[in-house]
Amino acid sequence: MNPFAERPESIEKLFENWQTLYPRSYDKNAVDPYTKTRIILMNGTEFESNWFSHNFERHTTNTDLRRELALTRYLEKQQQLKLSLLKPIDESALEHTIGYEQLAVDLTAELAKRVGDAYLKKALDFALLEDFDHLYRYANRLEADKGVLAEKLVGRYTEIMPGRPTIAHHRHPADNVRRSLSNKVSDKMSVLAGMIITAAEQQTMNYYMNIATLAENEQARRLYEEIALVEEEHVTHYEGLMDAGSTWLESLLLHEYVECYLYWSCYMTETDEYIRSLWERNFVTEVAHLHKAKELLGKYENKDVSEVIPDAEFPEPLSLHENIDYVRKILQDTVQFTSHHEDYADVNELPRDSRFFKYQQALNADGAEVPSHCVIEEHIRNDKKDYRFEVSPTPVKALRSHTEDNVTVGRVPGAATS
């Protein structure tokens, strides 16, 4: 599939009215977990494109170009709102949060398996273990608050057990910055993956920032507060990998190409016929946006598409599915890793005066008040054990206890072996 070979519809004819804009929500008790994660993925992708366009407008004085941006941006917002409202009224914020974290785990794992750039793969594998742990923390909060087992929500496709403990995710901000990759050197899947995962993590960060104030109790509010700050780290982590040398119009073209690729992937892998029809319509809309971006690139920068995307054929569709064995392997091999300067290091080998240890001490102290730790301790007090769904015991021996939350793995030398 080459979206530039598709015949675009007129953008002016793609606006929706009130009758078509409000969607039919999915049934939370019947929806396929990966239908829900695709919806969350595309919600974040639309937000990224919309917000990129807003920032573009703030950095150009060309009013004609600003009008073109406003036109496609409004359509992006219509699409995002429609996707947001697929979430049913009776699905709680915590239930929906489980979908966010399942997406984070299985999307990150799938991208890590497909990218050609070794540095990007390390970045994906590193953050994978953190989102995996977030799923475990939220699942325990969900069972404590609602009596809902998160394993049912994830369809038992994704394990729920400790990853690199969330307490260890808090790093000095300077250690979250990565080296910028070059779109002209990186393979196409790596270019796409960097943009896809940045948008997905940004959506998660924004969701937690907004939902924290609406959580039903103080413990949940505190948990959202903590993990939202980790997601801020993740957005910094991933956006730093994107090609900082691209022009605004080159980036616009890439944003639209990514949207086309993802909607096509969703259409090719969707099992719900109603949702599949939405993916198809949105793909048609994004093809029109892509051709407009191509036109603007030629008009204002005198560049051809091939200078930005040399081979416009899509890779294989991006599929969301279980990644249990892959996650376990990364957990076993890198649970003790942290971010150090622009790379990664085993905490067992970090200098004792590194800023990681200093920041950990300043923020967490002995860990007793850290919300992600408290949620597990509370569950253990009330139920005599934590909540998990695992196909076999975790490969990290230090994380196998169901009656004590480990607050040393990933932050204290010698706490585990990677």
Write the pLDDT tens digit of every residue in 131-182.
999 999 999 999 999 999 999 999 999 999 999 999 999 999 999 999 999 9
- Average pLDDT of the residues of the chain: 97
Identify the pLDDT of residue 377: 98
With bands split at pLDDT 50, 70 and 90, how would you rate the model's confidence at 379? very high
Instruction: Inform me whether the pLDDT recorded for 418 exceeds 80.
Output: no
Give the long-range contacts of residues 359-366, CB within 8 A, separation 24 or more: 359/170, 359/171, 359/172, 360/168, 360/170, 360/411, 363/170, 364/167, 364/170, 364/411
Identify the pLDDT of residue 417: 82
The 3-state DSSP class for residue 346 equals strand
Average pLDDT over residues 76-105: 98
Paired with 345 in beta bridges are 338
Q: Hey, what are 207's tokens?
A: 């969701």
Identify the pLDDT of residue 310: 96
Instruction: Inform me whether the pLDDT recorded for 83 exceeds 80.
Output: yes
Identify the pLDDT of residue 402: 98
Question: What share of the chain in percent tops pLDDT 90?
Answer: 98
DSSP state at residue 27: -
Instruction: Inform me whether the pLDDT recorded for 365 exceeds 90.
Output: no
Q: Give CA angle at 166 (363, 89), nearest 5°.
A: 115
Residue type at 48 in one-letter notation: E
Judged on CB neighbours under 10 Å (0-12, 13-18, 19+), 41 is buried
180 touches 262 (CB < 8 A) = no
Identify the pLDDT of residue 366: 81
List Cα–Cα distances, 355 to 83, 240, 271, in angstroms. Answer: 41, 20, 48
Instruction: Inform me whether the pLDDT recorded for 77 exceeds 90.
Output: yes
DSSP state at residue 194: H
Identify the pLDDT of residue 113: 98
Paired with 322 in beta bridges are none
Average pLDDT over residues 110-127: 98
d(CA 75, CA 13): 11
List Cα–Cα distances, 391 to 143, 394, 395, in angstroms. Answer: 19, 9, 11
Instruction: Inform me whether the pLDDT recorded for 67 exceeds 80.
Output: yes
pLDDT tens digits, 384-394: 999 999 999 99
Identify the pLDDT of residue 166: 98
With bands split at pLDDT 50, 70 and 90, how would you rate the model's confidence at 6? very high
pLDDT tens digits, 12-53: 999 999 999 999 999 999 999 999 999 999 999 999 999 999
What distance lies between CA 234 and its chain's CA centroid?
9
pLDDT tens digits, 252-310: 999 999 999 999 999 999 999 999 999 999 999 999 999 999 999 999 999 999 999 99
Identify the pLDDT of residue 284: 98
Has this prediction a pTM greater than 0.85? yes
Identify the pLDDT of residue 415: 94
Identify the pLDDT of residue 277: 98
Identify the pLDDT of residue 26: 99
Average pLDDT over residues 83-95: 98
Q: What is the DSSP string of 151-181?
A: HHHTTTSS-BS--S-GGGG---GGGG--PPP
With bands split at pLDDT 50, 70 and 90, how would you rate the model's confidence at 87? very high
- Quick one: CA torsion of 195, 198, 201, 206, rounded to 10 degrees? -110
d(CA 105, CA 348): 26
